[in-house]
Amino acid sequence: MTSERHILVVAHTGRSDSMDAAIEVCRQLIAGGITPVLTTDEYLDIIAEAPDLADIARLGETVQIGDLELVIVLGGDGTILRAAELARGCSAPLLGVNLGHVGFLAESERENLTETIARGLAKDYLVEERMTLSVRVKLDDEVVYETWALNEATVEKASRERMLEVVIEVDQRPLSSFGCDGVVMSTPTGSTAYSFSAGGPIVWPSLDAILLVPLSAHALFARPLVVGPDSALAVELLHRTQGTGILWCDGRRSFDLPAGARVVVRRSPVPVRLARLSQGPFTDRLVNKFNLPVTGWRGPVGEEARGT
């Protein structure tokens, strides 16, 4: 690590609002004596709009991933997932500014951009570690694919008209088999994403656990499951499955699954680090992001208000 400070800026440069925000952030970082860093593709997009930024560092060329102090992410949750992929394995936390719709992983909104960057420059943030999943695909006891996920690993049918026939396993013991559209295996962070849409429970991110949520299962016993962080889940495509399946991790990385393929998910030893500007309760984040109705709540009184 050099004495020079490097901050990676990740943005959805295909959108004009995100492009404008990225240019603004790069200029604010330079004014603060920090070296902004961009991926090569985003560098080319940004200097086409702002030629004065041509001297910005590029990730993997003039600056390596281990040189980064912080990753500033401008966009929605999809952009944050992409940034987590770029920064995988390094100690730099992700500081998200929401330019999308819900932006559940983001820490601030567009109108607070200048203040957010100033706090990043001052290292005025806390770091929260989020559990991730290690994902393996095995075929005839051979590992044919390995990856990871922050939100979820999903086994899905590859053809719309076909159904997957799967058997579910927990800690190397069979639990149930059924036909379905797919199976979601999620972290607590991902419990507000695909798992939530499929009817799974919301799990507070302070709890380490792994969720399993069947998708449109044809079975009496196909309820969402929550297991401990040391458990291993497996989904095996039975040979009677007609057609193939596909594995998706965070909606970004995919692998085709033939009949007989086995997807094994367990806790990864490498977390994702998020920069937090406040320690507000997760309940408030749920209410704000989902616009939940809480009118009429008067709050605790007396001894309960003091937590006794």
Residues of the chain with pLDDT > 90: what percent? 79
User: What is the reported pTM?
Assistant: 0.91
Lowest-confidence segment of 34-38, 147-151, 157-161, 194-198 by average pLDDT:
157-161
Q: What is the pLDDT of residue 126?
A: 96
Closest CA relative to residue 282, chosen from 206, 227, 209, 228:
206
Q: pLDDT tens digits for 230-250?
A: 999 999 999 887 778 999 999
Interval 296-300 mean pLDDT: 89
Q: Note the residue count of the chain.
A: 308
Partners of residue 189 on adjacent β-strands? none
Q: Which of 12-16, 155-159, 270-274 has the highest mean pLDDT?
A: 270-274
Q: pLDDT tens digits for 259-281?
A: 999 999 999 999 999 999 988 89
Q: What is the pLDDT of residue 15?
A: 87
CA pair distance 121, 41, nearest whole angstrom: 25
* CA angle (302 as vertex; 301, 304 as ends), nearest 5: 75
- Type of residue found at 51: P
CA pair distance 100, 138, nearest whole angstrom: 36
Q: pLDDT tens digits for 214-229?
A: 999 998 888 999 999 9
Residues of the chain with pLDDT > 70: what percent? 96
**Mean residue pLDDT across the chain:** 92
More confident residue, 304 or 131: 131
Q: Give all domains of the chain, ordered by start, each with its CATH number.
A: 6-124 (3.40.50.10330), 133-267 (2.60.200.30)
Instruction: Identify the band that residue 1 occupies on the pLDDT scale cut at 50, 70 and 90.
Output: very low
Q: What is the pLDDT of residue 307?
A: 60
Residue 49: is its pLDDT beyond 70?
A: yes
Q: Supply the residues annotated as catalytic.
A: 77
